[in-house]
Amino acid sequence: MNRMKTLTLACAAAALAVSSMSAQARDFRLGLITPAQHLWSTEAEAFAQTLNERSGGEHSVSVFPAQQLGNEAQMVQQLQTGALDMAFLTIAEISNRIPDFGALYAPYLVDDVNHAARLLRSDAAGELLDLMPEGVGFVGVGYGMVGMRQVLSRSPIESADDLHGQRLRITPFEPIRDFYTATGAAPAPMPLLEVYDALANGQVDAIDMDFDSILILKFYEQANNLLISNHMMFPMVGVVSGRVWRELSEEDRELIDTAMSEHLENVLTGFEEMDAAQEEEIRGLDINIVEADAEFFSEAIAEWESIWAPKAPMLETLRAEADRLRDE
């Protein structure tokens, strides 16, 4: 009788343990705007695999690239309600809600992708992540990026004056809009996956873009003039919904934070490693190339600074850190 009772209790305990594990198990959903072949998307998939393995199969992540869950503004809303668990977001939508993030887009804040990656790894950039829970209701895990911004156009741009009146595709956020407005261009917000057709049918005259996307999505087939300016970096941030985060155990928070941080770092190092080869590949294409520096955009930079220095106090801190890293 005692043996039977002991066996029954053991079975009940095992069932309770299984039930408890099932209650804790989650299939997280992660959204992003980049196509499946983009490094952000492939590292999101790799993060899903890492989390599944390290949780002993308890947790899984379903990745939704290419705006399958909507544009970034829609994904931000989903994250805030807890309908979406995680995302890899450009800083664009965040800067529209927390102006200090706009400081990361200061023209010529950094020199190149390596300098950008060092700044994004810094404590100064980390201070911005601390603003996210209160500012947007997310937990910011860390940064990724794409390459530096360039201008690809249907007609040559040989001086800043050539941008006047150009309908120029941008990612929809204020810092980049203000920069191109200051150049005299007409910024046109547009989803990444609509850009190729917009160039083809003349809906836009030029695009603000990085080497990687120009090559992957073959935008050079529809616009054969490239202004290599490296005028702005373009960060990404890995986030978890604050509502979802509060439901997680400390152990699961640590597991997610560690795994996602590793794959965000892979994005940073990936673009550091790819940039030179991508630039060489682009220079080998049959396109017209003009090079530009800060002097090329001097008037637009001054106007941008007059708008954003008061709006984004963190600009001073980030610039000091960027200067320190430049001198190392």
Residue 241 has pLDDT above 80, yes or no: yes
User: Would you say residue 230 has pLDDT above 60?
Assistant: yes
Q: Please write the tens of the pLDDT for every residue from 144-196.
A: 999 999 999 999 999 999 999 999 999 989 999 999 999 999 999 999 989 99
Helix (H) or strand (E) holding 81: helix 72-81
How high does pLDDT run on average in the chain? 93
Res 114: pLDDT: 98
pLDDT in tens, 270-327: 999 999 999 999 999 999 999 999 999 999 999 999 999 999 999 999 999 999 999 8
Percentage of the chain lying above the pLDDT 90 cut: 90
Average pLDDT of span 198-224: 97
Query: Under a CB-based contact definition with an 8 Å cutoff, are residues 79 and 293 in contact?
Result: no
197 has a pLDDT exceeding 70: yes
The angle subtended at Cα 267 by Cα 144 and Cα 110, nearest 5°, is: 55
CA 323, CA 260: separation in Å to the nearest integer? Answer: 29
What is the pTM for the complete model shown? 0.91
Predicted pLDDT at 92: 87
For the cut 90, the answer to whether the pLDDT of residue 99 exceeds it is yes
Instruction: Specify the pLDDT at position 24.
Output: 78
pLDDT for residue 156: 97
pLDDT tens digits for range 12-29:
444 433 333 434 799 999
Token readout for 33 is: 């705007």
CA distance 37 to 236: 17
The pLDDT score that the predictor gives to residue 10 is: 44
